[in-house]
Amino acid sequence: MWIKTGIVWLCCCFLFTSMQVVNGADVVEVAKYDFESGNLTGWNVLNQGGGVSVSSEDKQNGSYSVKLTASTGSDYWSVQLETPQINTIPGHLYRISFWAKAVGGGGIIRLSTASASQLKAESGGEDRQYLPELNIGGEWTQYIYESVYGSRLQAGGYSLKLRIDAGKVPGKVYYIDDVLIEDLTPDLEELEGTTPMAKNHAKFLGNIIADQVPDNFNVYWNQVTSENAGKWESVERQRNVMTWAAHDRAYNHAKTNGFKFKYHTLVWGSQEPTWLGSLTQTQQKTELEEFMQAVANRYPDIDYIDVVNEALHAPSSIRQALGGDGVTGWDWVVWSFRKAREYFPNAKLHINDYGIISDPPKAQRYVEIVNILKQENLIDGIGIQCHEFNMNTVTVNTMRNVLGILAATGLPIHVSELDITGNTSISEENQFQVYRDKFPVLWEHESVIGITLWGYINGSTWRTGSGIVEQDGRERKAMVWLKSYMASEKSQVPNKFENLSNNIEHRFDDDLKIYPNPVDDYLTIKGKDIRGFKILDISGKNMRSAYKNETLNVQDLNKGVYLLQIEYDSHIVMKKFMKR
């Protein structure tokens, strides 16, 4: 029997099995919650209302259900229960169902998502954070969300949390059982090139590593810069006592995974050791050379180096020891690059500064330094930081003007420290709009060789609100858009200076075999020269590691989509598999 309630069609029927066929396609059970553990482990009681508990008083199936009692108010959220995180795949279509009854009938429940953009309309991408309310009767009935406002439900990102909002009818008691989330399009392939996002692109898309490497770093990024650990003050806070551990982690992660690595930075006035101030100029110059030599000895395979950082805004405090203004007006910068060329003959030497992208006159002044360095073939690239205090408000026309000024030098441009919060105020929507409008201007310019974001996990970035992934792994709207853009043909633009498309390449794809997929219990991986494996959830969290073992036991993994990181000596390969 079909029951129409509001705009949602509800079906009174038996529970679906874990795999069925609809219009010739498999339907995969992604998550099911039957409360048979007798507790709410993993669930989050957001609002207690008149009570939230697992109960054996009444149930649709098995021994337990969850009991919700509304408070005396009439707000949906006065009693609210949130599911554990559910792994989803952007663009896939989902069906959500649950069994419920209201004691005495006359109940109203609504489902919502923990944040915007986790569910969207298939037809046009409209947000479906708040699903239509359901009239809950006095007998056990299965309620289904599949077509909502005339369009099916599409995942907007890689994670979903559902909220049962049951406080609309004051004092009403509900029993909920067998909450089920199903993927209606499991055979729908994700767009290629999304793990990491710039895989098989001619340009890199990177990020910083502050101290520890985030579990989901490789899901998104294929270039590494250490945020602070390479700065002179961080390395040698006490004279002749070197601290390398955090920088080692960033460098080793890049080299292990075949990512480009940028050293940041050698000469910068803002974070120099304080003890330099007590030395003579001769000693200061000697100490800087010793620092360069120590970096070169420890990290022989650096790809790019920020030799001088922020010469226009924070010139080195020891610049007089390095030649001061001198004949060129920038002799201290020239000396720094000469020495860097001597100690790092195989690295690409860059200058780096902020405030350039929004200021054409400053860009012209910046180019004056670049052209002085070009006279001795001392510089290989131009870094522009592109922080939110410039990116939020700069116009697209100004950006294009500045990029043209820099490109006229004939050198590659590295967008080295990108972050964005929003054009009028810090908000997820404003941040998304700025990314959508301005990121392509940078990425698609013919002289830009790559972009490095200056952090991506919200709450862990130096500029408040600049993260595009939340601490719990939820992707903000800007990240959802960025992944879609990077998976599109529009992002496949050439790099006229160097082709990086083989950074992470499936070099052994002809020999690599992974089966069965989907898998129930044991996953077999066969290929040449494989060093080890990691199983990651779809947000990038490491679930399991194995070494030189061709069979992985996955029986205890929850149903859903996972990433298999296959490690070789020189690179990694990322594949997806589905656990049934």
Task: Report the DSSP pairing between strands 162-165 and 79-82.
Answer: antiparallel
Q: How many CB atoms lie within 10 A of CB 32?
A: 16
- Cα–Cα separations (whole angstroms), residue 425 to 46, 357, 394, 453, 463: 28, 20, 14, 20, 13
CA pair distance 327, 386, nearest whole angstrom: 31
Report yes or no: 276 and 317 within 8 Å, Cβ to Cβ.
yes
Report yes or no: 19 and 580 within 8 Å, Cβ to Cβ.
yes
Residues with catalytic function: 310, 417
Encode burial over 141-158: b for 16+ CB neighbours within 10 A, e otherwise: bbbbbbebeebbbbbbbb
Both tokens assigned to 148: 């909502």
CA pair distance 561, 518, nearest whole angstrom: 9
Q: Report which of 186, 187, 189, 181 is spatially closest to residue 161, judged by C-alpha positions.
A: 181
CA pair distance 532, 466, nearest whole angstrom: 35
Beta-bridged to residue 430, according to DSSP, are none
CA pair distance 259, 252, nearest whole angstrom: 10
Rg of the chain, C-alpha, whole Å: 28
| Torsion angle of the four alpha carbons 521, 522, 523, 526, in this order, in degrees rounded to the nearest 10 | -170
- Which residues lie closer than 8 Å to 406 by C-beta, 6 or more apart? 356, 363, 366, 367, 370, 382, 384, 413, 447
CA pair distance 97, 84, nearest whole angstrom: 16
Report yes or no: 452 and 409 within 8 Å, Cβ to Cβ.
no
Which amino acid would we find at residue 467?
Answer: G
